[in-house]
Structure formats: structure tokens, C-alpha cells
Amino acid sequence: MNAIIAALDLQEKTEVVLNKAAEMARKLNAELHLVHVIPPVGTYTGINVMDPLGALEPAILPNEIELINTHKKAAEEELSKLVESLQVKPVAVNILLGSVEDEVVNYAQEAGAEMIVVGTHQRSGLSRLLSGETSVRILHEAQIPILVVPTVENN
């Protein structure tokens, strides 16, 4: 196996997903790539500045650039901490900006990955419908195997 992508949301229990991806990379003698995606502009504030005729892409406001940079810096710090604890060191650590599922799937294709490891928060009912469950959207778009790791303890 060439490469395994660990798609990390850097929320609670991220280390569970990361450790599983590292374990798979070690067992399969594959390169490990870490990917964190910062959501699209407007996700934070709920608004976009747009051309009233719909001809232009959404504009990025200065405060949104600052927010993205703050998120990126925090992600870099968190990823550095996570990497220190790994026995299998990743060949690449990437912070991307865009739609989570699109960026993860595109990166996996570019890296020639043969597996994507993602976590799921195991939402159900209305909360799952509203959240859009990123792991499910990646599953539908990717053309390679997906390992979905539950990050919620069963009671």
C-alpha cells in the first residue's frame, strides 16, 4: 500500500483516529499523511459578501482572513503535538482550506493514497441530518477504501 490519509477534525478524540491511521500505516508499510481542513469562508460567520447578480465568487472579508489565520495557527500547534506522540511519523502534514470532503478526496487522489481514515461522532436522527456527517460524504465521493473510526464511547 502506498499511502494512508488521516483526515483529522482536531476535535475531541482526534487521537483515536490518528492512532488507528498510524497503526494501519505501520501494519501495511504505507506512508502516513495527515490532513486537516479549515471549512469554507462564511462557515464561521454565516455570511458571505456576494455580487447581487451572482456573477462573482464570495468575497473574503478582512476579519474572516484573520479568523482563518487564527484557526490555521491553532491547527498547526495541535497537529505538532499529535505528531510528537506518534511512533509512525507522517510524511506530510497538511492544513487545507475548503470543503472538507472535497479537499480530503482531492488530496488523497493527488497523494496516490489507497485508504482514508476518518472519525465519526456517531450522531443520530436530526443532528446527523443537519450535520451532514462528513465521514458519510467522504465515503460517497472517494474511490478508495474508507476506514471510519468511531470516536464516541459506547455506554
Topology of domain 3-150, CATH: Rossmann fold (3.40.50)
pLDDT tens-digit profile of 118-132? 888 655 544 444 445
Spans of all domains in the chain: 3-150
User: Which of 112, 114, 134, 113 lies closest to 122, judged by CA?
Assistant: 134
Return the DSSP state at 89: -
Residues 28-47 pLDDT 10s:
999 999 999 998 765 444 44
Segment-wise mean pLDDT, segments of 10 residues, the chain, 155 residues: 91 91 94 92 48 52 78 94 90 92 91 91 48 65 85 63
CB 24 within 8 A of CB 117: yes
100-111 vs 134-141: helix crossing angle, rounded to 10: 40
